[in-house]
Amino acid sequence: MEGGLSGNASKLERALTDLRGVRGARVDVDEGEVKAVRVLVVPERDDERTERDVRRLAFSTLGRPLEPDRIQVLSATEVGDAPEVHPLQRRKLSSLTIERTGNRFSVRITLELGGDVLVGESEGPAVSRFEQRVVARATLEGVGELLDFTTELESVEFLQVGDSEVSIVALSTPHGYLTGSAMVKLDRYEAIARATLDALNRFTIGRGDRDPV
């Protein structure tokens, strides 16, 4: 049954990428159900229209309705680059150092924030899917003390957009669900860190009345 769902999920991804203005799509299936549908669109494409298209295609492809909270629409504006804002609201990745010791993988990330230097560290098993999460957690660690709310890492994924690969990081906070994206330029780890910052930067931009973080 799950194999059939996975096959239909692939069909849904293809159907979504055939839509005008859609740059890429990813359908996450786990334990026999669709957990999330992520769609990367050009800035000119209306989010509500995209959500309607996703629900319509999901019903025709999967044979079941898709809950709105399972749909995430991401803008492909210079993938991963949020609009320019006050420099104090932008955390920049300064350096990223990784180390493998035996079966352990550790990351140290240095961030710049308005002239200050923030450092985040994390470690985990030296296995690809865990390593990716370690990078995101180290990035969150770097800014964690400056945030007045908790942030949980939900997922780290990659989406193929034409000849390019895009890192997509999803976070959950008491204020809602955040997603950030960044094109892979140097390597996947660097893209994960930038995508994590992109998610936090989008939160800051959306709440301009808050103290910058």
pLDDT (tens digit, 0 to 9) for every residue of the chain, 213 residues total?
445 777 888 899 999 988 877 888 889 888 788 888 989 887 657 788 899 999 999 999 988 899 988 998 887 654 444 333 333 345 678 889 999 999 999 999 998 765 567 889 999 999 888 999 999 999 999 887 667 678 899 999 999 888 889 999 999 888 788 899 999 998 999 999 999 988 887 665 444 433 333
pLDDT confidence of residue 107: 95
pLDDT confidence of residue 205: 43
Q: Which amino acid is at 209?
A: D
Residues 99 and 140 placed together within one structural domain of the fold: yes
CA distance 146 to 117: 12
Domain stop point among 52, 75, 98: 75
Which residues are paired to 152 by β-bridges? 172
Domain count, the chain: 2
Domain of residue 186, residue span:
87-206
- For residue 152, give the CATH number of its domain: 3.30.160.270
CA distance 65 to 88: 43
Residue 181 lies in a domain: yes
CA distance 113 to 197: 11
pLDDT confidence of residue 109: 92
Q: Indicate the pTM of the whole model.
A: 0.62
pLDDT confidence of residue 81: 43
pLDDT confidence of residue 3: 52
pLDDT confidence of residue 186: 85
Token pair for residue 149?
């709310």
- For residue 25, give the CATH number of its domain: 3.30.300.30
Residues 97 and 192 placed together within one structural domain of the fold: yes
CA distance 85 to 202: 10
Domain stop point among 43, 75, 107: 75
Residue 211 lies in a domain: no
pLDDT confidence of residue 77: 52
The DSSP output letter for 114 is T
Residues 200 and 127 placed together within one structural domain of the fold: yes
Residues 132 and 172 placed together within one structural domain of the fold: yes
